[in-house]
Amino acid sequence: MKRDSTVATSDGGAGPLKSKLPRVGTTIFTVMSTLASEKSAVNLGQGFPDFDCDPALVNAVSDAMKNGFNQYPPMTGVPALRQAIAAKIEKLYGHSYDPATDITVTAGATQGLLTAIMCAVHPGDEVIVIEPAYDSYVPAIELAGGKPVLVQMTLGADGYAIPWDQIAAAVSPRTRMIMINSPHNPTGSVLNLADIEALKDIVRGTDILILSDEVYEHMVYDGLRHESICRHPELAERAFIVSSFGKTYHVTGWKIGYVAAPPALSAEFRKVHQYNIFTVNTPVQHGIATYMQNPAPYLELAAFYQRKRDLFRDGLKHTRFKLLPADGTYFLCVDYSAISAMSEADFAVWLTSEIGVAAIPVSAFYDSPRESGIVRFCFAKQDQTLQQALQRLAKI
């Protein structure tokens, strides 16, 4: 959530601290989760599961601790984990990354995104951001001294779509990077082959880099295919690809992910990585490397979450909400215009306080206020949690 803020001052000898992010306040996720707690609301706002991960994963991490893997690992990540990541990518998407030079383990996807931007974007460079967008993108670009160039997705009968003609028109001689997110938070949309071809046409013959946020890569539904940027060599050669073990294995609090990129890009990424995080906790890396020997948990994830999506969607069909498509992620957006004319932020507060279900206003995913009458629910919850929320929403 962005807001104007005054610069903090000190009563001591130090002078005023000039903020590097003067428009940034407390995130909407923290605001809504705090309100949900105060109101004893069902929290379908912030994107985290309310169920435990596989005990086998916890045991693998515990075993790593007991076996003495408790000191600094290599800066780029434990070799066994980088090898497992590279093997997974090659098997699923057909692209071969060298685990020694091309895979870096990160302290969550957000750190990977920030580090990719910090290593590649220089003051005055432009970065095209497609809105609505995850809230870390624009602040990261601003911290690097870059200029966000914002292009809004269109919303039609088939849901949200990227207007590639507007992306092409936004490209300038100063464009350094285009940020892509698929499956997409918050809209649940998924890139298809036509989108990929449009992106290829835009970057072909340029030095533009791609930063591809693919943290929900294993959550694509209804038989659709995740079009990872690394499936397409023409794009992979210029791309940083970011993913998240927290999302895949239901352990968002562990804050561990990875970035895959060609050697030249990875070399620059690692220069920044070694000074802003250095490395990621050792036993978790070893535990995940062991756990990844069984691919079933990520291969079965789409079916696991599609069932929850369908349960939640079927329940919402009996309410006054209009359901938007949800082809991926564990989020579902709904249009509430038949219920209220309130702003999205006000409606989310009312929904939390009066109905007892927390949601996130989609307007919070835009750099400047933009109202569409849409809020986002998270269905990464136990069935009983979703049923409780549906009972309350049915009263509207």
Angle formed by the axes of helices 301-316 and 383-393, nearest 10°: 20
pLDDT band of residue 5 (cuts 50, 70, 90) is very low
Report whether 249 contacts 26 (CB < 8 A): no
Buried b (16+ CB within 10 A) or exposed e, 57-94: beebbeebeeeebeeebeebbbebbbbbbbbebeebbe
Model pTM score = 0.94
Quick one: 144 exposed, middle or buried, by C-beta within 10 A (0-12, 13-18, 19+)?
buried
Sheet strands (E) in the chain? 42-43, 103-106, 126-131, 147-152, 154-156, 159-161, 175-181, 209-213, 239-244, 257-260, 322-323, 331-335, 357-358, 360-361, 374-378
Can you give the pLDDT at residue 16?
84
Q: Quick one: CA torsion of 205, 152, 48, 293, rounded to 10 degrees? A: -20
Can you give the pLDDT at residue 208?
98
The answer, yes or no, to whether residue 226 has pLDDT greater than 70, is yes
Can you give the pLDDT at residue 362?
97
The answer, yes or no, to whether residue 60 has pLDDT greater than 50, is yes
Mean pLDDT throughout 204-229? 98
Picking from 242, 135, 137, the residue whose alpha carbon sits closest to that of residue 186 is 135
pLDDT tens, residue by residue, 136-179: 999 999 999 999 999 999 999 889 999 999 999 999 999 999 99
The answer, yes or no, to whether residue 342 has pLDDT greater than 50, is yes
Sheet strands (E) in 27-141? 42-43, 103-106, 126-131
Average pLDDT value over all residues in the chain: 95
Can you give the pLDDT at residue 24?
86
Mean pLDDT throughout 117-133? 98
Structure tokens at 183: 């499956």
Position 194: which residue type?
A: A
CA dist list (Å): 42 to 29, 119, 194, 294, 338? 14, 40, 38, 34, 22
pLDDT tens, residue by residue, 12-27: 566 789 999 998 887 8
Angle formed by the axes of helices 55-66 and 282-291, nearest 10°: 130
CA dist list (Å): 233 to 30, 121, 192, 210, 252? 39, 23, 16, 12, 30
Residues 35 and 30: their CA atoms lie apart, in Å, by 9
Can you give the pLDDT at residue 4?
42
The answer, yes or no, to whether residue 305 has pLDDT greater than 80, is yes
Can you give the pLDDT at residue 14?
67
Report whether 257 contacts 242 (CB < 8 A): yes
End-to-end CA distance of the chain: 26
Can you give the pLDDT at residue 57?
98
The answer, yes or no, to whether residue 7 has pLDDT greater than 70, is no
Mean pLDDT throughout 77-95? 98
Can you give the pLDDT at residue 28?
83
pLDDT band of residue 369 (cuts 50, 70, 90) is confident
Structure tokens at 337: 């215009």
CA dist list (Å): 176 to 100, 165, 268, 326? 26, 18, 15, 31
C-alpha Rg value of the chain to the nearest Å? 21
pLDDT band of residue 11 (cuts 50, 70, 90) is low
The answer, yes or no, to whether residue 373 has pLDDT greater than 70, is yes
Can you give the pLDDT at residue 341?
97
Picking from 23, 139, 18, 26, the residue whose alpha carbon sits closest to that of residue 7 is 18
Least confident of 59-73, 104-118, 294-308, 364-378: 364-378
Can you give the pLDDT at residue 12?
55
Is the N-terminal amide bond of 79 cis, ω within 30° of 0?
Answer: no
Residues 313 and 332: their CA atoms lie apart, in Å, by 8
Can you give the pLDDT at residue 10?
45
Can you give the pLDDT at residue 157?
85
Report whether 305 contacts 298 (CB < 8 A): no
Give the DSSP letter string of 295-331: -HHHHTHHHHHHHHHHHHHHHHTTSSPEEPP--BTTE
- Each as own residue / partner, the long-range contacts of residues 306-309 (CB below 8 Å, 24 or more positions apart, any chain) are 306/221, 306/222, 308/379, 308/380, 308/381, 308/383, 308/386, 309/221, 309/379
Q: State the architecture of 63-297 in CATH terms.
A: 3-Layer(aba) Sandwich (3.40)
Is the N-terminal amide bond of 163 cis, ω within 30° of 0?
Answer: no
The answer, yes or no, to whether residue 246 has pLDDT greater than 90, is yes
Q: Where are the domains of the chain?
A: 28-53+301-393, 63-297
Can you give the pLDDT at residue 79?
98
Provide the CATH topology of domain 28-53+301-393. Answer: Aspartate Aminotransferase, domain 1 (3.90.1150)
Can you give the pLDDT at residue 1?
41
Residues 359 and 352: their CA atoms lie apart, in Å, by 7
Is the N-terminal amide bond of 283 cis, ω within 30° of 0?
Answer: no
